[in-house]
Structures are given as structure tokens and as C-alpha cells.
Amino acid sequence: MQLSERVGRLTNEGAFEVLAAATCLEQDGRHIVHLELGQPDFPTPPHIVEAGVRALRDGHVKYAPPAGIPALRAAIAEHLRRRGDATTAGNVVVTPGGKSAIYSTMLALIEEGTEVLIPDLAFSAYEAITHFAGGTSRLYHLDPARGFRPSVEELEARCTARTRVLVLNAPHNPTGGTLDQTDLEGIADFAERHDLVVVSDEIYAGLQFDGQFQSLHSLPGMAERTAIVDGFSKSYAMTGWRLGYAVLPRRLVDPVVRLATNSFSCTATFVQHAGVAALTGSQQCVTDTRAEYAARTQLAADALNRIAGVSCVSPGGAFYVFPDVRALIPESGRSSVRLAYDLLHDYGVACLSGTAFGTAGEGYLRISCANSRANITLGVERIQQQAAALSAAAA
């Protein structure tokens, strides 16, 4: 069997690989603290579940339009308008999950030789899709001293005449970094000067607790060069429902709809009705979970900062912390991959090496706080045990 070369350009996602290893250990009787997956531990809010069940009972189980049912496209447009980001239902394409929105949008923009600016600490799908489409990734650095925010100077240094797309993600996975007004204005000016399309991954927009979220799309002149990709998984605890969307410049809508038609046909109709309920119903569920994630990430950051050899910046959004553990792995031959491996197998804590998000993640761990405060505390206690053992061995 001859496999296509392009499939070899795709990579697996580190969180699911760690989950599989952790599950095997649990089957052998080990107790594992799960801090690897970016999956909310909250249930989907009852009014959303009820809307999905009611849609099933009412017979909403047939094909939907490839771009999404009109009610959901309108609800998404209104959702953006409420946060000050003007768009229309005609700019919205509904997809089965945020990943499908990323995939379809990037495939519509990238061809052989296209250069794409991608942060060197990022969700692995951005680079995998770029390479799958025949593009070339140009990695730009995120400065820890600036809260892992990109600088225009760094973007300028990485941009060439062949660069056509800029990938942006804020609040940021894996660091929890956010962007302020000055950052957005500088990036907008940069994108206009170089005639770039910006793919803005805003899956954690509802979970920004450091100031009010603002999209690059909302800045003057940016709606026609910014593609928002987003979904319901994080803010509404709907990971398994698989519901996402893209908000696109008009010129990009039809190509993305054609990709949708030829790949997944449409998003499950009853799930889309649940999405309407999520956006048009009470948003107290989002407010409550955002406050809880803010408390959990601060709890984790404070506890990690009390461990000798570990430092951790308090995140401004999402539900991750990204501790610097370089002081724990000074000896030759060790790495953050080895540290995370030992943490799982010897101490029963599942988390990710920072290198799951790029080479700049060496010396860091990503810890998901989508778990209870008690489990986060227990996980950090076990990290403290590992740090103490490494310190003793070094001495």
C-alpha cells in the first residue's frame, strides 16, 4: 500500500498521547492526577443539553446547510457584536469543532510555498496543517519577559516576501498569555503593511480574566483580513459535542464552504440547535467557569512558585499554567520531555512537556487546570516531591 507523502506531514497531539499512557498506568492500579488535557471538568450547562435533546426529539436529525443553520450563524454574529466586533451571519461558517474551522480556513489560504507565521509555542495543529497544505512555517518567538506576548519587531524579523498568513492565538495555549490594545494595534499595522491574512484562534476568548477580551478583527480595516476561528468546547464545556465556527472575510466564505461540503458535508443539526441555546441563553455559566479557572490557575501558579527551582507566570486567560523548570534539569542529557515522563511514571502526574508546543518549550511544562482545586494541589505536591528528589540527586 502506497501512502500519500502529505499524510506523513501530520503529527499527533501530545495531550492525547499522554492521556493514553496515563490510562494504561491507571489500568495497572496506579493513581494518576490528570493535568494534561485541555478539557473542562464541568458538565455542559443543563439548558444547552436540554436544547440538544429537544432538537433530537423534534426531528432535527437531517442534513443542514454546509455553512450552518441560519439561526446559529445569526446567533454567532450577534455574540460577536455584543463584544464589540461587528460582523454578519453571512460571514459565519459552522464546523464540527474548532479544529475543523482551523483546518478548513488554513487549507483555503495555503498552497505550495506559502509561508505562515506561527508562534514558537503553539497548538501543534497550526504547523501540521501548514505543512500538510505544502506551506512553510516561519516560527516567531514569544518573550517570557513580556508575558509570552509577540512583538512586532520579532514578526518583522521572521516575515519575508513569501509570507502570506499570520497565526495568532490569545488567550494563548499553552502559556495563558493575552494581548492588550497596544499589541493589537501593532499587529494590525504589521499585517496591513505586509498584506497578510491573520488566522486568529479565539477558542479561549470567553475565558480571559486579565481585562476584557478584544479581537484583532474589531480594529479598523482588519475585518477584511482576519479570519476568526472559535468554538464551544472551552467556554461552554462542550468538547464532545464538536461544535466550532469561522468568521471570515467575504472572499473566504465560499472557499471554506466548498471545503466543508467536500469533507464533512455539514455539522450535526441537533448540535447546532444546542449551540443556539448556548449563545442566546444565560451567560452566567461562562462567568462562573471563568472565575473558577482564574482561581485555579492562580492557585497553581502560587504553589509552583513556592517550589525551589520552579518559576511560573500567572496567566491572563485560558486554564493553563506554564512553569519554567529549567533549574530542575541542568544536567546533560535530561530534558523537559524526560521530566514529564518521570513525573507521570514515578509520581503519577500527567502533564505535557513544553516541547509539545514547539522547540521554545524546552525547560517548561504545561499544566492544565481543568481539574478540581484538590487535584491541582495534589499534582503540585507531587511535582514538589520530584523537585526535591532531583535536588538531592544533584547534591
**Is the alpha carbon torsion for 321, 383, 122, 228 positive or negative?**
negative
pLDDT value, residue 43: 97
pLDDT value, residue 6: 85
Rounded distance, CA 293 to CA 321, Å?
11
pLDDT value, residue 332: 60
Within 103-251, strands assigned E span 115-119, 136-140, 163-169, 197-201, 226-231, 244-247
CA count, 13 A, side-chain hemisphere, 144: 15
On whether the CB atoms of residues 138 and 160 are closer than 8 A, the answer is yes
Unique residue bearing C-alpha cell 514547539: 358
**Is the alpha carbon torsion for 203, 371, 341, 13 positive or negative?**
negative
pLDDT value, residue 203: 98
Unique residue bearing C-alpha cell 499522554: 18
- Residue 286: is it exposed, middle or buried by C-beta count within 10 angstroms (0-12/13-18/19+)? middle
pLDDT value, residue 178: 97
The three cell numbers locating residue 299:
492557585
The three cell numbers locating residue 137:
512555517
Rounded distance, CA 364 to CA 316, Å?
18
Closest CA to 67 of 87, 110, 96, 107: 96
Scanning the chain, the segments in alpha helix (DSSP H) are 14-27, 46-57, 70-82, 98-109, 125-132, 152-158, 181-193, 250-263, 269-280, 284-305, 336-347, 373-394
Cα torsion through 322, 328, 331, 336, rounded to 10 = -30
Which domains occur in the chain, in start order? Answer: 5-43+285-390 (3.90.1150.10), 46-280 (3.40.640.10)
SS3 37: coil
With a cut of 70, which residues of the chain have pLDDT below it? 332
pLDDT value, residue 183: 97
